[in-house]
Structure 1
Amino acid sequence: MLVHNHGVEVYKISFIFPNQDKYDGECTRTLEGSLERNGYGVHTTPSGIIYKGNWNNDKMNGLGRLEHPSGAVYEGEFKDNMFHGIGTYIFPNGAKYTGQFNENKLEGQGEFTDTQGLEWDGRFHYTAAPGLKLKLEM
C-alpha cells in the first residue's frame, strides 16, 4: 500500500530479515532505492523481543514499547535504538523505574518502585542513585 506524506512515498510492508526478524509497518525509499523503516511499525525477533512504535532513519526513534521474553518492558522515548528521554522500565522481577533515560542509562530525575512495592525517588546516575528517598504515601 502506498501513502503520500509531504511528497515522500510511504509504503506499508511486511518484511522478514535473513535472521528471521520480522517488520510490519511503514517505510520509505532512500535516494539509493533501498527501503528504510520510517513511521510506525512492529519489529519482532524469533527470540520473542517485540518493538511497537515509531521509526526514523531505520532506527527506533520517538515513542515506542519494547518487550523482552524475560518480562522486561520499556515504554517511552527512543533515540537511535536507545532508551533516551522519558520512559518507564519494568524489570523482569517486577521492579519499575519511571523517569529520565540517557542513551540506555537511567540518568536524571526518576522514581523507582521495588519488588515490595515501596516507591523511591531521586536523581539517578547510571544505576546508582545518590540521595534516593523513600516516597511514602501518608
Structure 2
Amino acid sequence: MPVVKKRRTREPLWHERDSKAQKHGLRHTVYAVNGDRYTGEWQDNLKHGKGTQIWKSTGAIYSGDWKFGKRDGYGSYSIPDPVTKQYKKVYTGWWENDQKCGYGLKIYPNGERYEGEWSAGLRSGWGRMYYQDGSIYEGQWLLDKPSGQGMLRLPNENRYEGGWKNGKKHGPGKFFYLDKGQLLEGIWASNVPKCGIVTDFNKDEAPAPPQYPIPKIELADPDGVLSEAQAMFDDSQNE
C-alpha cells in the first residue's frame, strides 16, 4: 500500500504579519489616528510598563507607569504654557486606573497648590492646600472638599481649628483671632458659629486688640450651655 505523505500547510500570510505586529515587552512608538503618540513598553498590545503619551489636541504629556493601557503607578502630567509654550508640570504623583490615586502634588492654573492624598481623581484623605490669597488649609479631605478635622490659617495668621463638612466649618472648633488676642470656642454649622465662648488670648501681644474688654458673662453656667449645644449638634448629626 503506497505511503501517502501529508502535505504541510502553511499559515496564511496575514497570520504571520499579525503575529509580528503584536507589541510585547519592547519599546515602540505608535501613532493613533487622531495624532496622539505613545512611546514606551507594551504587553499584549497594551501600554504596559514605562512610557510617554503625547496628546496632539492639547499638547499634554504624561510620562510614567502604565498598566494594561491605563496610567497606573507613578508619573507626571504636564501641559504647555499658552504664552511661552514651555511645559509645566500640573500633577506629579501616583495613579490608579487612569486617575490620580495615592499621594501627589497638583499645581492649579491660578498658582494654587495641593499636596496630599487622592482617590479616584479627587482630593481625599490627608492633604495641604495653598490658596491664591495666602490661606493654607491642612487636614482631612473627602470628595475634593475639606471634610473631617482640619486647620485653616489665614494670611493675617488668624486660624480655625476644628470640624469641617463639604468645605465649610462644621462642628466643634476654635477660632484664634491672633490680631485681636481673642479666642472663640464653639460650634459651627455651614461656616456660621452658632454658639460659643469668647475669651482673651495673648491680648497683650496682639497687634490690634479691641478697645474695650469682653463684657462679663451673665450666664450662671456657660460651660453647661456649650455642652448642651454640643449634645444637640451631635443628635442632629445622627438623624
Instruction: Identify whether the pair has TM-score above 0.5, normalized to the shorter chain.
Output: yes
Instruction: Give the superposition deviation at 1:101.
Output: 0.5
Identify the match of residue 52 of structure 2 among 6, 14, 22. Answer: 14
Which residue number corresponds to residue 32 of structure 1? Answer: none
CA distance in structure 1 between the aligned counterparts of 2:55 and 2:134, rounded to whole angstroms:
32
1:134 pairs with one of 175, 178, 188: 175
State the Cα distance separating 1:36 from its structure 2 match. 0.8
* Aligned counterparts of 2:142 and 2:97: Cα–Cα separation in 1: 20
Larger RCO, structure (CA 8 Å, separation 6 or more): 1
TM-score with structure 1 setting the length: 0.81
Q: Distance in 2 between matches of 1:91 and 1:68?
A: 10
SS in structure 2 at match of 1:129: strand
Question: Which of 68, 78, 85 does residue 44 from structure 1 map onto?
Answer: 78
TM-score by length of 2: 0.49
2:159 maps to which residue? 119
Relative to its length, the structure with more helix (as a share) is: 2
Cα distance in 2 for partners of 1:46, 1:126 equals 33
- 2:64 alignment partner, one of 25, 33, 50: 25
CA RMSD of aligned residues (A): 2.4
Is the aligned partner of 1:67 residue 2:126? no
Which protein is bigger by CA-based radius of gyration? 2
> Which is richer in strand?
1
Report the identity percentage.
27
Letter in 1 for 2:175: L
Instruction: Give the count of matched residue pairs.
Output: 128
Aligned to 1:116, the other structure's residue is in SS state coil
Q: Is the 8 A contact 2:75 2:95 kept in 1?
A: yes
Shift of 1:115: 1.2
